[in-house]
Amino acid sequence: MSLVSSSAPIVCTGGPLSAIDTDLLIVPWFEDDVPGPVGVDGASGGEIARALSAREFQAKPYELLVVPVSDRSWRAPRVALIGGGAAERGSAFVRKLATAAGLAARQKRVVRAAFAVRGTGDIQELAQAVAEGLTLAEFYAGSYKTTDPPPAPSPTWTVVVSDANDQALASLSAAVARGRILGECSNMARELANEPGNTLTPREFAKRTAALASDAGVKVDILDETRIEQLGMGLLLGVARGSVEPPRVIVFRYDPPGAPDTPVLGLVGKGITFDTGGISIKPAEKMEQMKDDMAGGAAVACAMRAIALLKAPMRVIGVVPTTENMPGGRAMKPGDVLKSAAGKTVEVINTDAEGRLVLGDGLWYARQLGATHLVDVATLTGAVVVALGKITSGIFGAPDAWVDRVRRVADRAGDRMWPLPLFDEYRDQIKSDIADMMNTGGRAAGSITAAMFLKEFVDGVPWVHLDIAGTAWADEAKPYLPKGPSGVAVRTLANLAFERFDAKG
C-alpha cells in the first residue's frame, strides 16, 4: 500500500447527453421510466424500447444493458443502462448504483466513462453521492497477488448533470470534489483493514495513519509504551501484555484557524491489529478475519484526513489505542484485575473482550484532551452480527439528541445504523465481586453490555458508540460492494464535523 495516494479528479459537466464525449455513457433507468431520459432510446435506434418490451432488460436494481448509439449526432459510441428498480431514488441508493456502474465499467476495461446523475432530493447531494460511489468502485483487495494480471485501471470519470447551468455547475463540481475525497478516504480505510496482521502491527498502523492524516494537515502524536504507562492506561497495557509488539495510542488533532473553542468532536477508534482472543483464545475457524479488528481505528484516521481536506469548521480530536491481542507468556489472564486511566478497576473475565478495555482508556483520553462530544467506532461484538446482521451497524449512546444526530448523518452517508437501548438495568450484568466492573456480561444482550461498559468511561459527556463488527467486512460480494473491507463509518464521521451541535447534541 502506498502511504498516501491520490487519483485523477472527476469532471462534472452539464449539457445534453448527446454532447458527452466519452467511451461509455452510463444512465440509471428506473422501472417506471417510460420513455426514459430524453433522447436516450432514440439514440439507440429504439434498441432500448425493444429490450424492455422483450423483458430482456427489466431495470431491476443493478441490472445492466449496453447498447450501441446509432444516432451520429451523439458523441458517445455506447450507452449502458443500469437498472434502478422501483423502490428507491435517494442519494444512498444512487451512491450504490454508481458503485455498481463503476465496478462494471472497470470490468469492461472502459477508458473514459460518464455517469448521468438521476434521482430524487438535493442535486448537489446526489452528485456528491455519485462521485463517492464511483470512487468506492476503485478499491482493489488483491494487492499481494503476484501472478494474476494487474487489475484494470479505473476509467477516468465524468459526472453529468443534464440540466445544470454554469452557476449550478460550479457548486456541483465542488460537490463532486467532496465526494471524491470522501470516497478516497473510505478506500484508504479499506486498504488498512485489508492489510494482514503481520504487516500491519500497531507501530506500522500508527506510522501509516500518521502519514495519511498529517499529509492533509492534521497534527499527529504517537504515544509509545512509556507515555501510555505515564498516563496510567492500565486497560490498554493489560491487553498489550500478551504481545511482543508494543502498543501505541495514535492522537490526531484538527484545529482549523478561527474555530470556536467548543464544540470539540472526539472520535475514538478500536485499533486491535490482530485479535486472537488472548488466553481466552478464539477457535481457528475464521480467526484470520480478526486482522480487520482495527477497522474502527482506520475509520477514525481516514475520517480525520477527510475532515482536514474538506476544511471542516470545527475542532476534532481522534484517539486510536492500538495493540495486538495475543496469548503470550506475560498475557493477562481471566480473573486479573486492571486499573484504568480513569481510576476504575476492571475484573477481566474473558480476555477476548479486549476492545472495550482499550476503548475505555481511549474514551477517557479523548475527554482529557477536551472532547465535548464523543463518537467511538469498533468491531466490538459478535452479538451485534446476531442482532443486526451484516447490513446494519449498532448505534448506542446518550443523550438521544446526539444519537439521533449521528443516525441522521449516517443515513445520508450511506452507513446503515439502528439503535439498541442502554437501560440502567443492564448495568447489573457487569457487576464484579472484586472490582468496579467485569469486562463481560454473559451471553444475553452482549452488544448492549459491551456498550454499558464503555458508558462507564464517558462521564456524562454526549457519546455515541458504533458497533461495526458486522458491517466492516463483506463476506459475500454484492453488485455495489465486493467481498472484503467496506470502509464503514468513514463518511459518517467526516460529515459529523460539518454539523452544528450544542451541549445537548
Residues taking part in catalysis: 282, 356
Q: What angle do CA 163, 175, 89 make, to 5 degrees?
A: 60
Is residue 51 within the footprint of ligand BES (CB under 6 A)? no
Task: Give the 3-state secondary structure of residue 265.
Answer: strand
The dihedral built from the CA positions of residue 39, 42, 48 and 52, taken in this order, carries a sign that is positive
Is residue 355 within the footprint of Zn ion (CB under 5 A)? yes
Among 41, 47, 245, 352, binds ligand BES (CB under 6 A): 352
**Of 260 and 283, CB closest to ligand BES:** 283
Q: What angle do CA 434, 439, 442 make, to 5 degrees?
A: 100
Q: What angle do CA 505, 344, 275 make, to 5 degrees?
A: 85
Pick the piece of the chain touching Mn ion (CB under 5 A) from 117-125, 180-188, 275-283, 300-308. 275-283
Pick the piece of the chain touching Zn ion (CB under 5 A) from 27-35, 91-99, 111-119, 348-356. 348-356
C-alpha cell of 260? 470556536
Minimum distance of ligand BES from residue 34's CB (angstroms) = 46
- Alpha-carbon gap, residue 479 to 26, rounded angstroms: 15
Q: What is the 3-state secondary structure (H, E, C) of 292-325?
A: HCCHHHHHHHHHHHHHHHCCCCCEEEEEEEEEEE
Is residue 352 within the footprint of Mn ion (CB under 5 A)? yes
The torsion region of residue 15 among left (phi > 0), alpha (psi -120 to 50) and beta comes to left
The dihedral built from the CA positions of residue 14, 306, 132 and 418, taken in this order, carries a sign that is negative
Is residue 361 within the footprint of Mn ion (CB under 5 A)? no
DSSP state, 439? S
Residue with cell 432488460: 57
**Of 83 and 355, CB closest to Zn ion:** 355
Pick the piece of the chain touching ligand BES (CB under 6 A) from 213-221, 228-236, 375-383, 429-437. 375-383
**Of 119 and 355, CB closest to Zn ion:** 355
Q: Binding string to ligand BES for residues 267 to 306, with x set by CB under 6 A, is what?
A: --------x-----------------x-------------
Minimum distance of ligand BES from residue 374's CB (angstroms) = 20
**Of 87 and 284, CB closest to ligand BES:** 284
Within 439-478, which residues bind ligand BES (CB under 6 A)?
440, 446, 469
Minimum distance of Mn ion from residue 381's CB (angstroms) = 9
Is residue 383 within the footprint of ligand BES (CB under 6 A)? yes
Q: Which residue is nearest to Mn ion (CB)?
A: 352
Is residue 381 within the footprint of ligand BES (CB under 6 A)? yes
Within 187-216, which residues bind Mn ion (CB under 5 A)?
none
C-alpha distances out from residue 185 to 5, 189, 238, Å: 10, 6, 32
Residue with cell 477508458: 111
**Of 266 and 446, CB closest to ligand BES:** 446
- The count of chain residues that interact with ligand BES, using the rule CB under 6 A, is 15
Pick the piece of the chain touching Mn ion (CB under 5 A) from 25-33, 268-276, 393-401, 414-422. 268-276
Q: Are 331 and 284 in contact (CB under 8 A)?
A: no
Among 275, 292, 347, 467, binds Zn ion (CB under 5 A): 275
How does DSSP assign 169-215, residue by residue?
Answer: HHHHHHHHHHHHHHHHHHHHHHHHHHS-TTT--HHHHHHHHHHHHHT
Is residue 132 within the footprint of Mn ion (CB under 5 A)? no
* Residue 150 burial (C-beta neighbours within 10 Å; 0-12, 13-18, 19+): exposed
- The count of chain residues that interact with Zn ion, using the rule CB under 5 A, is 4
Minimum distance of Zn ion from residue 283's CB (angstroms) = 14
> Could you count the other beta carbons within 10 Å of the beta carbon of residue 106?
18
Q: Which residue is nearest to ligand BES (CB)?
A: 382
Is residue 275 within the footprint of Mn ion (CB under 5 A)? yes
> Could you count the other beta carbons within 10 Å of the beta carbon of residue 370?
14
Minimum distance of ligand BES from residue 310's CB (angstroms) = 30
C-alpha cell of 348? 477481566
**Of 245 and 352, CB closest to Mn ion:** 352
Residue with cell 443500469: 82
Among 7, 214, 350, 368, binds ligand BES (CB under 6 A): 350
Residues that bind Mn ion (CB under 5 A): 275, 352, 354
Residues that bind ligand BES (CB under 6 A): 275, 293, 350, 352-355, 379-383, 440, 446, 469
Residues that bind Zn ion (CB under 5 A): 272, 275, 293, 355
